[in-house]
Structure 1
Amino acid sequence: MVSNQTSRVREMDKAYIQQREQELELERRKRRGLFRRLSALAIIILVLGTMGFVTIYAQAQSLEDKKQDKLALEQQIEQLKAEEKRLHQDIVNYNDLDYIAEIARRDYYLTKPGETLFKLPDSQSN
């Protein structure tokens, strides 16, 4: 009771089958090529991005170091300005004869003619 229905099914033309297989193979090659190009592009972008990040980080670190150096130098400038002001005051004082006489009396126990010098003990509360 099985009839011969297979006789109704015809085989497709071999040329069509080969053409279709070639088209499918061409599509696979195109996809594989596209995947390779996209992978290469992604790797290049990743490398360039990493290099950019490293460069920016190094520059930021260098900038921070420069800022700290600048602050240290500004503090040093302030100290030098204060010392310069003190030295200018010393110059003015050493040009004053009364100041020189005071220093000579205090440090070298010099006196004016007819003057008597008395040295008192330091007052310490015991």
Structure 2
Amino acid sequence: MKEENPTNVSRLNNEYTHNKTLEVLRKRKQKRHIRRRIVGILVISGFFVSGFAVNIWTNTQTISQMEEEKTESQTELKLVEKEQDDLDNQIKKLEDEDYVAKVARSQYYLSEDNEIIFSLPEDNAANDIEKDN
């Protein structure tokens, strides 16, 4: 800081210097008040911006999680639709009496009138494998 030398400088005490001093003090006070307002506005706006940023971040996290669930659900839906098509095809086949008779004869060794069934060792091995699965 500057050191004032009171011996070389004397202060005038008149109305003009008094008014100028008051004017300088008012301007300092006004600048200080403006700075406080600006800082207050910046703090409040920063608070709101950070709140909005947190809200946006949580929403993007929720959206990404929902998109993952959507892709998993679509994959599961495709599997279920394929299974449903397979079951529909099986129902159509089971509505045919000839197919049902063929399945009954092959899996349960049922026979038609005057029909003889011969069981081969390969057939028994195939049935044992099917039962294990």
TM over 0.5: yes
1:19–1:102 CA distance, 2 compared to 1 (3 A) = same
RMSD, aligned CA: 2.0
Distance in 2 (CA, whole Å) between partners of 1:38 and 1:47 is 14
* TM-score normalised by length of structure 1: 0.83
Identity percentage of aligned residues:
24
Aligned to 1:116: 116
Distance in 2 (CA, whole Å) between partners of 1:83 and 1:11 is 102
Aligned to 1:46: 46
Q: Deviations over 1:25-83 (max 9, x none)?
A: 10110011011001001101211111111111111111111111111111111111111
5+ residue gaps, structure 2: 1-8, 126-133
- The secondary structure found in structure 2 opposite 1:78 is helix
5+ residue gaps, structure 1: 1-8
Map 1:1-126 onto structure 2 (within 5 A).
12-122=12-122
Distance in 2 (CA, whole Å) between partners of 1:79 and 1:10 is 98
Q: Displacement, 1:14?
A: 2.3
**Structure 1 stretches (4+) deviating beyond 2 angstroms?**
9-14
* TM-score normalised by length of structure 2: 0.79
Q: Deviations over 1:80-113 (max 9, x none)?
A: 1111111111111111111111111122111111
Distance in 1 (CA, whole Å) between partners of 2:54 and 2:73 is 28
Distance in 1 (CA, whole Å) between partners of 2:122 and 2:47 is 78
1:91–1:10 CA distance, 2 compared to 1 (3 A) = closer
- The secondary structure found in structure 1 opposite 2:121 is coil
Count of equivalent residues = 116
